[in-house]
Structures are given as structure tokens and as C-alpha cells.
């Protein structure tokens, strides 16, 4: 009897225990020499919205390609490494490492997928989803490799969780294509009971599932601080996926002038320029106005409009898949415009707006403070055009949560590799595509034709009357 009970317990446990994904092996070749190595066992949990509520799906790396190439620094400073891993059918995992004072740091993580797909067949939204995190975790010194055989996870934006079961990383100073003998291990391998209870947020319902797993990597040595993974993202995109082979890592263009709210100079003719290696990938000309709705202490809904001027701080990033412009203004206000490259066409893919209800600019706000508020929206065919053209529109309006964004005299060209800092590609006008404009033009033409016909009939009538009088 005891044997049967034990057997039932073991069978039940075997049904509950989740299979650990196999370890996948990746390396990056730089001029036929391996410059980075990665062994990784991981899967991905995606929370997504359907017409019947929020669901989740778990994807693994069993179908991903071994030894997939990534990018090492081309500036010969050996300061950045990027792994770009394709996971069928449509997913991409991007890991960006940097050399920070001779320490290896996991700087940013991206997970990109399209909906719907065979893993998310009932997703209620269509288009590309970009999930990201900026852990800024120090792993090891550049002469050692990092190893961790304890489960950790990374909470990304847009309801994505990366579950890492084991990893081995060597991204700088690779000798003889091997990991080498010097190793630094994560502290979790020495203290398996050191876990924390974290929540995995659903994108819209606010519900959460609690899972006891570790949320940070840290090394066992004392020379590095114990970094903490930031589960609340408050920073902007700093690196991109699939960097161009001629331009893999961005040298941001940064305007260092201090914003002044009292300035009145128009931005309608100001061109934001995003470049790398002295070549421009994104040029954008536009006036930018952001209106924020907020609740006041008098229980009223009020608005505050910010006109972003020419002296705003801005920077950006170039890549094969995405070009990004980030503009920063007062009160913690920033706007992130992400353009996507799809089949040689570019479109505005995502807008992220961040702000604070600071007492300085929102003195009567009910919930004023220095907490960062984030509003975002993903688009599919907005401002779409071939990358050989530039897109121009008199006015483009977006409603993003409690934010209204107005882009006036808007024009952009993206995914260029040009030494020119002026917008010069042939224009495609959104006004010509706007059905309302076409209707108005059609109505005007119709009225004009009717007037011409009426004038012609009146002329013929008078002419016939004149002929009749002459005959009499």
C-alpha cells in the first residue's frame, strides 16, 4: 500500500515538474575569430490580451538556431557585444553586453514578436510587440567568464518574462575560441535557498501569479556590488536590435542645451538628426506638442500642454530593424518614437511618452509627485512608406492614454545611410492619402463642374433668346 502511495506521489510530481529547456550554444565570429560565446537554457512567458480576457503562452528555444551570429564592436574598442537570436516562428531575443570599466555588464534585453502567430493564435492585436528591460547587471571581469546554474528571471515590458535556467557567458577577451579557465559564478549557485517571491503582471487585468524565483544575477566575488534587477522600467531605449552590418552600435546624437520653458522659438522647421559613425539613419522634422490630462485637487479634469522647442535634449539609435528618436523636455517629459523596417518599408511602430506630475508644472494635481508615469501605444501601418521616400504630413494626432500628441509640419525619412543631414528623398504626402481630403477635393471639383454647366446653360439660353429676337 505504501509503495502504491509513493508511486502515485512520484507520478503526480512528474506531471507537475516542468522540463528544463535544453542548453543552446551560440557564438559570434569577427573576421573568422570567435569574439563572444554564450550557452543558454531559457524559455519565455508571454501574457497577451484576447477577446476572452488575458492568456499566457510559454515559448522555448528548442527550435532556435545554434551558433547564430551576432555583432561585436567594430570600433575596435571592444566595448559592446550583441547577440541576436531568432526563435521560430517570429520571435527574436537580443542581448546587449557592454564593457564597463573592465567589467562585463548585461546592459539591455529585448524580446520582439509579432501577433497573431501560431503560439498566440487568438491575440486580439495585430502587429509587432517590443518588450525590453535594462538590467545593467555586472556579471564578471572581462578576463573571466560568467556562469550561473540557478533559475533567474527577467521581467520585461509588455507582459514578457524571460526564465533563465542556466547560462555561461564570455563576451570579451576570448582566446582560442574557448571560455577559458577563469570563472565567476553567480551567488545563487552558492545559496539556492535565497529566493524572493515576485509577481508576474498581466497586461490589462492587473492579476498576478506568484512564483518563488530569483530576480537578479550577482557574482560570488566581493569586488563587484550586488546589483538589483529593475522590474519597473523608467529609462528609455538605449540600444537596438539587428544593428546594421556597417553600423552596429549607435553613437547617439545628443543635444546638450538646457531646455527653457519660456523660450518661444518654433520647432516646426527643426530637424532631429540620428546618426552613427558619421552617417544619418533617421531625420525627422516636426513641431511637437503634448497635452496631458490630469485630475486636480478641485475634482476637475484639467490639461497642460507642453510645446517642445528646438533646445530640447534628444538622442537616438540606428539599426537594421528599428530607428529610434527620444526627445526629453521638462517635468521628466520624454517622447520615444520608434520606426520599424518591414520589407523595405518604414512605419511609425511605437510611441512611448513618460512624464511626472511634478509640483512645479502641475501645482494643482491631485496626485502630484516625482513618480514617472508611462503611456505607450503600438501601431502597424501608421506613416508607412518605402524607405526610398520621405513621409510628409501637415498634422498627425495621436491619443495615447491620458496623452494627446500633435506632430505639425511632420516629415521624416528612416533607415538611411547618408552623409547628408537634410531630408531629400522624394516626398509621399499623407494628405494625398487622406480620404477626407480626397472627399473635400472631389466635392469642390463637383461644385465647380456644376457651376460651369450652369453658366454654360445660362449662356446657351441667352444666346438662343437673342437669336429669336433677331429672327423676329
Q: What is the pLDDT of residues 409-449, one digit of tens each?
A: 999 999 998 899 999 899 999 865 554 555 666 777 888 88
Tell the burial category of 118 from Cβ atoms under 10 Å away from its Cβ (0-12, 13-18, 19+).
exposed
pLDDT given at position 282: 93
CATH numeric code, 271-431 = 2.40.160.110
pLDDT bucket at 250, cuts 50 / 70 / 90: very low
Closest to 243 (Cα-Cα) out of 100, 90, 81, 135:
81
* Top-ranked range on mean pLDDT: pick from 22-36, 67-81, 132-146, 219-233: 132-146
CATH 2.40.160.110 residue window(s) in the chain: 2-213, 271-431
Closest to 83 (Cα-Cα) out of 97, 95, 99, 65:
95
pLDDT given at position 363: 93
What residues have CB less than 8 Å from 89, skipping those under 6 apart?
117, 118, 119
pLDDT bucket at 192, cuts 50 / 70 / 90: very low
Closest to 247 (Cα-Cα) out of 74, 33, 80:
74
Pick the CATH number of 2-213 from 1.10.760.10, 1.10.10.10, 2.40.160.110, 3.90.1200.10: 2.40.160.110
Distance, in Å, from the CA atom of 347 to the CA atom of 354, rounded to the nearest integer, reads 21
What residues have CB less than 8 Å from 433, skipping those under 6 apart?
none
Tell the burial category of 256 from Cβ atoms under 10 Å away from its Cβ (0-12, 13-18, 19+).
exposed
Amino acid at each position: 500500500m505504501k509503495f502504491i502511495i509513493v508511486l502515485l506521489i512520484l507520478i503526480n510530481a512528474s506531471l507537475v515538474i516542468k522540463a528544463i529547456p535544453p542548453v543552446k550554444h551560440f557564438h559570434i565570429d569577427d573576421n573568422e575569430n570567435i569574439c563572444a560565446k554564450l550557452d543558454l537554457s531559457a524559455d519565455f512567458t508571454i501574457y497577451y490580451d484576447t477577446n476572452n480576457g488575458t492568456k499566457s503562452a510559454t515559448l522555448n528555444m528548442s527550435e532556435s538556431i545554434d551558433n547564430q551570429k551576432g555583432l561585436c564592436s567594430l570600433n575596435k574598442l571592444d566595448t559592446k557585444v550583441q547577440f541576436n537570436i531568432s526563435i521560430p516562428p517570429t520571435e527574436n531575443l537580443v542581448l546587449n553586453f557592454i564593457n564597463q570599466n573592465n567589467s562585463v555588464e548585461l546592459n539591455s534585453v529585448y524580446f520582439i514578436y509579432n501577433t497573431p502567430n501560431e503560439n498566440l493564435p487568438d491575440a486580439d492585436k495585430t502587429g509587432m510587440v517590443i518588450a525590453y528591460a535594462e538590467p545593467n547587471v555586472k556579471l564578471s571581469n572581462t578576463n573571466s567568464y560568467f556562469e550561473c546554474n540557478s533559475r533567474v528571471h527577467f521581467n520585461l515590458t509588455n507582459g514578457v518574462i524571460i526564465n533563465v535556467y542556466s547560462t555561461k557567458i564570455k563576451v570579451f577577451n576570448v582566446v582560442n575560441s574557448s571560455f577559458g579557465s577563469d570563472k565567476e559564478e553567480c551567488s545563487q549557485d552558492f545559496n539556492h535557498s535565497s529566493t524572493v517571491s515576485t509577481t508576474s503582471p498581466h497586461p490589462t487585468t492587473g492579476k498576478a501569479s506568484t512564483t518563488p524565483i530569483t530576480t537578479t544575477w550577482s557574482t560570488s566575488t566581493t569586488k563587484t556590488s550586488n546589483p538589483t534587477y529593475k522590474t519597473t522600467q523608467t529609462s528609455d531605449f538605449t540600444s537596438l536590435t539587428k544593428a546594421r552590418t556597417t553600423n552596429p552600435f549607435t553613437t547617439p546624437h545628443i543635444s546638450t542645451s538646457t531646455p527653457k520653458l519660456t523660450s518661444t522659438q518654433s520647432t516646426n522647421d527643426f530637424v532631429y538628426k540620428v546618426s552613427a559613425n558619421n552617417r544619418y539613419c533617421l531625420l525627422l522634422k516636426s513641431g511637437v506638442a503634448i497635452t496631458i490630462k490630469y485630475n486636480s485637487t478641485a475634482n476637475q479634469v484639467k490639461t497642460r500642454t507642453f510645446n517642445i522647442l528646438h533646445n530640447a535634449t534628444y538622442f537616438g539609435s540606428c539599426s537594421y530593424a528599428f530607428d529610434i528618436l527620444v526627445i526629453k523636455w521638462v517635468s521628466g517629459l520624454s517622447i520615444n518614437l520608434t520606426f520599424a523596417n518591414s520589407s523595405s518599408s518604414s512605419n511609425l511602430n511605437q510611441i512611448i511618452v513618460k512624464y511626472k506630475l511634478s509640483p512645479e508644472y502641475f501645482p494643482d494635481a491631485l496626485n502630484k509627485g516625482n513618480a514617472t508615469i508611462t503611456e505607450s501605444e503600438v501601431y502597424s501601418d501608421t506613416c508607412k512608406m518605402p524607405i526610398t521616400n520621405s513621409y510628409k504630413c501637415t498634422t498627425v494626432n495621436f491619443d495615447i492614454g491620458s496623452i494627446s500628441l500633435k506632430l505639425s509640419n511632420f516629415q521624416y525619412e528612416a533607415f538611411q545611410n547618408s552623409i547628408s543631414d537634410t531630408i531629400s528623398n522624394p516626398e509621399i504626402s499623407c494628405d494625398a492619402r487622406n480620404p477626407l481630403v480626397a472627399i473635400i477635393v472631389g466635392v469642390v471639383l463637383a461644385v465647380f463642374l456644376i457651376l460651369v454647366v450652369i453658366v454654360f446653360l445660362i449662356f446657351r439660353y441667352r444666346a438662343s433668346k437673342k437669336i429669336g429676337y433677331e429672327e423676329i
